[in-house]
Amino acid sequence: MGWWDLEDQALQIELATFGEPATVFFGSAPPEGFPTRGIFDAPAASADVGLHRDLSDQAPWIGFRAAELPGGQLPRLGDRLVVRGVAWEVSDLAPDGGRHVRCRLFRLGAWAPTPPPALLPAPAP
């Protein structure tokens, strides 16, 4: 049994303990989405930019076991998913080089702070 097998067993235990249902719309997922599970968190994040007060917000992310994603494919920037009844867009990826990927999320919909930034520059008129 190799290192990645041991890591994968640990990921399966983590998902069984802390995993939440999610519907993903990326990779080879069908149009209605692919039900899976991931570990979701939205920890506080702050930035000291030299003001009298720190700026703070949340930094939501979700972690997936690649084998549980549609076709075993990793997500890409701009892919969408639904977790906790809220639509999200993948804004950053951090694969571990093995069988797990952590996705930084940007909230979509009516309560989104702002529209997500464009992934490609706008075409010239």
Q: How confident is the model at residue 123 (pLDDT cuts 50, 70, 90)?
A: low
CA distance 58 to 118: 21
Q: What is the extent of the structural domain holding 75? A: 3-44+57-107
Domain presence at residue 114 = no
Domain presence at residue 10 = yes
For residue 35, the domain's CATH number is: 2.40.10
Total domains in the chain come to 1
Domain presence at residue 63 = yes
Query: Of how many residues is the chain composed?
Result: 125
Phi, psi angles (nearest 5°) of residue 37:
-140, 155
Q: Among the ranges 6-15, 55-64, 72-81, which has the highest mean pLDDT value?
A: 72-81
Domain presence at residue 116 = no
Residue 66 pLDDT > 90, yes or no? no
Domain presence at residue 17 = yes
**Which residues in 78-102 are b (16+ Cβ under 10 Å) and which e?**
ebbbbbeeebbbbbeeeeeeebbbb
Q: Say what the pTM is.
A: 0.75
Q: Are 78 and 118 in contact (CB under 8 A)?
A: no
Domain presence at residue 50 = no
Predicted confidence at residue 22, as pLDDT, reads 93
Domain presence at residue 121 = no
